[in-house]
Amino acid sequence: MSADPQHAPQASAGRAPDVFKPGGWVPMRQYPEIDEVDFVIVGTGAGGGTLACKLAEAGFSVVAMDAGPYWRPLEDFASDETHQQKLYWTDERIVDGDTPLKMGSNNSGKAVGGSTVHFAMVSLRFRPDHFQTRTKLGYGADWPIGWQEMWRYYDEVEEMLKIAGPVRYPWGPKRGRYPYRAHPLNAAAEYLARGAEALGIDWTETPIATLSAPRGKAHPCVYRGFCVTGCSTNAKQSVLVTWLPRAIEAGAEIRDLAMVGRVETRNGRATGVHYHRNGEWRFQKAKNVVVAGYAIETPRLLLNSANDEFPDGLANSSGLVGKNLMAQLNQAAWGQVEDEVRSYKGPPSLAISEHWNYEDSGKDYFGGWSYMSQGPLPIIWAKSLAGGRSLWGQDLIDEMNRNNHSVGLKMVGETLPDERNRVTLADETDQYGLRIPRITFAFRDNEKAMIKHAVDFMDQSLEATGATERWKEMNDTCHLNGTARMGDNPTTSVVNADCRSWDIPNLWICDGSVFPTVGGVNPSLTIQAVACRTGDRIREMAARGEL
Amino acid sequence: MVDRFPHYDVLAKRDTPSWNPQTRKVIGDRLATEEPEVLTPGQRATLRAVVDRIVPQPEQRPATNATALVLHKIMTNESDGFRHHELPQVREAWERGLDAIDAEAQERLGHPFAILDGDKADEILRAIEQGDVQAAAWASLPAMLFWSWRLIPDIVSAYYAHPSAWSAMGFGGPAAPRGYVRLQANRRDPWEAAERDDGRVISAEERNIHVG
């Protein structure tokens, strides 16, 4: 076992951890801080890690920093919900508003590879119309990128992650076969399938970023079911084990345990980043700075970087940095069945219906949602029962002990952009002396109407399979997006279609915070697709001398 | 209540391919966790009594050390990554909360919470859950928020971090690198819990002693 990755940087002295080998190392190029690297990237998750790879392969000098540790999953990850909280971003954040968000688990990560190290691997494309909701559907805001272009980048990411999925996807424009064959359905997924069949709607095997066949040094998924606490066998195709090894091979440097506190600017341009590593503040010079800290840390860094030139924070002439936070809806319906389901086996969401992402009639609200089968681990399930049904005492214990017969369906639902849902800075500071974020969030009428429709529908689906003692879990949220939206107009967006800030031409933002809308699908595939596009666009612009 | 998974013990799999070395270490450390010297003796007694009511110990199985695990969390004052704007940090919330629970018992029943019988203790806890509180101590700590954002999540998370609780559920427990093979309904890998009265020829007891 190596030194504790949580307390000592691992990527140093010309090498980085080999994520495929206990105690192993791979050579890594390093850049002196006084060298002005082409790109310093803040964050190595779905946005930053992917972009680091693309830019390094395009020949740029790249330093990518992450506040979290550099894990080797094979030796560092336990099969344990509690211990694996080390993958979450658990620094203090204040939450308020009518629907205060519970942070720290399913919506944030603090590790090299970001939250993809513990994501549920569900890899979905947006419905094409969801890139133009304002024009086509009358709500939200249009993306400045067309769906056909995004479709090509989805192809690239799906190939890179060897997504296991169905041969024929039931919804949307024709797409190719997924690179790897779909995983078998577990019993929980079969309940989704039977319910959908009974209600007469389409369902399919969920396209999922865990291997269904060997790939290089990684083995296929063993269906251990601890996916959302990190994969200890490397079947999960996280950024940590996919894009980053490629990035390092192409010459990128990763700096772990490197918390960026401020982006420096001079004469209207970014000049580098101040970051905390090994107990001291340091400065890395760069020709370009990419902020990729996800929907909370990205606006926090931009706001914490306010200076005389940009007193309201960087890239914030529109006033939109931190605004339009969209936390996707994650409500559920649950029930009991005669079968032994044992939903702890396999990835939690092996079957899906996107019916209500593509069907607009019969709704009294805007937007779409999908729903998936579920497999909650004991602590998550206990919190669901205790929170959602107010069970405690022997009632809670007895219900927990029937868990092998529980089945559930959970939505991933679209939240509309609303400037009142936002990230600001609290007065408190954290262990680095940086002001911590305050996250203000509330469901509005549209979200409430969608939730009602979705939980009623999921409940009907369970009923159609014979599930009894059904109940509805009304309070959960998941992925976060928004807070630095992209657009065509500098007054109504923070970055343009290339993720380049309108105000500071060498400052870029590349993560889920650029989403103008979120659709009813998990965002990681789209974040990676946008990062791939951004990498290509930067290469093209550099070739034309437009950086 | 009849044990649904007779003789099933997750820990029997400790030295099988279902537990990697890091899992063995993590769970071993957890099982060895004792109550740290944190809070006042009175606050600790109150916490023990609350934990007993929220998550009664499994019958016929080793007791969990949920109280020790909650105390450990209080000692480290570790954030979960978010804090409701009306609540203080972990340790301070628990200190105020335990004092307020005890004050509520004193006010309503004239006794410390820790010595109440089960029904009386539950009456106090239900009042807190519903925000129907009388003690002045709640002025600096909204009772319902303390209940749903601190007390319940911390206690159930501690209890369900313990292998005894997993065994009682028939949960497979740690599962790397072996994982599972049989994913369909009513199919059980030989290293999984067997449920009482599941209609199989070999009894659940017999199958459960061979999961290791």
Q: Which residues of A touch B11 (CB under 8 A)?
A: none
Give the closest of A90, A96, A233 to B79, CB-based.
A90
Query: A with B: how many residue pairs have Cβ under 8 Å apart?
Result: 200
B178 Cα to chain A: minimum distance (Å): 7
- Answer yes or no: do B184 and A187 touch at CB < 8 A: yes
Q: Once rounded to an integer, what is the mean pLDDT over residues A205-216?
A: 98
Q: Once rounded to an integer, what is the mean pLDDT over residues B155-184?
A: 98
Distance between CA atoms of residues B90 and B92, nearest Å: 6
- Answer yes or no: do A344 and B172 touch at CB < 8 A: yes
Give the closest of B18, B26, B187 to A83, CB-based.
B26
Q: Once rounded to an integer, what is the mean pLDDT over residues B158-167?
A: 98
Give the closest of A88, A190, A397 to B185, CB-based.
A190
- Answer yes or no: do A187 and B81 touch at CB < 8 A: no
- Answer yes or no: do A79 and B53 touch at CB < 8 A: no
Give the closest of B160, B168, B180 to A223, CB-based.
B180
* Nearest residue in chain B measured CA to CA from A383: B153
Q: What tens digit of pLDDT does each residue of A165-177 get?
A: 999 999 999 999 9
Q: Once rounded to an integer, what is the mean pLDDT over residues B8-32?
A: 98
Q: A48: domain CATH number?
A: 3.50.50.60
Whether the predicted pLDDT of B112 surpasses 70: yes
User: What pLDDT is recorded for position A1?
Assistant: 43
Give the closest of B56, B156, B183 to A382, CB-based.
B156
Helix (H, G, I), strand (E, B) or coil at A416: coil
Q: Once rounded to an integer, what is the mean pLDDT over residues A242-252?
A: 98
- Answer yes or no: do A94 and B83 touch at CB < 8 A: yes
* Nearest residue in chain A measured CA to CA from B179: A224
- Answer yes or no: do A184 and B183 touch at CB < 8 A: yes
What are the extents of the domains in chain B? 1-18+172-212, 27-165
A356 close to A457: Cβ distance less than 8 angstroms: yes
* Nearest residue in chain B measured CA to CA from A104: B81
ipTM above 0.90, yes or no: yes
In a domain, residue A356? The reply is yes
Helix (H, G, I), strand (E, B) or coil at A105: coil
Q: CB under 8 Å to A22, separation ≥6 — which residues?
A: A72, A74, A75
Whether the predicted pLDDT of B1 surpasses 80: no
User: What pLDDT is recorded for position B199?
Assistant: 85
Mean pLDDT in chain A? 97
Q: How many domains does chain A divide into?
A: 1
- Answer yes or no: do B53 and A186 touch at CB < 8 A: no
* Nearest residue in chain B measured CA to CA from A380: B157
With pLDDT > 90 as the criterion, what percentage of chain B qualifies? 96
Nearest CA among B85, B112, B116, B117 for reference residue B100 = B112
Nearest CA among A542, A473, A479 for reference residue A505 = A542
Q: Once rounded to an integer, what is the mean pLDDT over residues B71-86?
A: 96
Q: CB under 8 Å to A359, separation ≥6 — which residues?
A: none
pTM of the model as a whole: 0.98
In a domain, residue A177? The reply is no
Q: What tens digit of pLDDT does each residue of A55-80 get?
A: 999 999 999 999 999 999 999 999 99
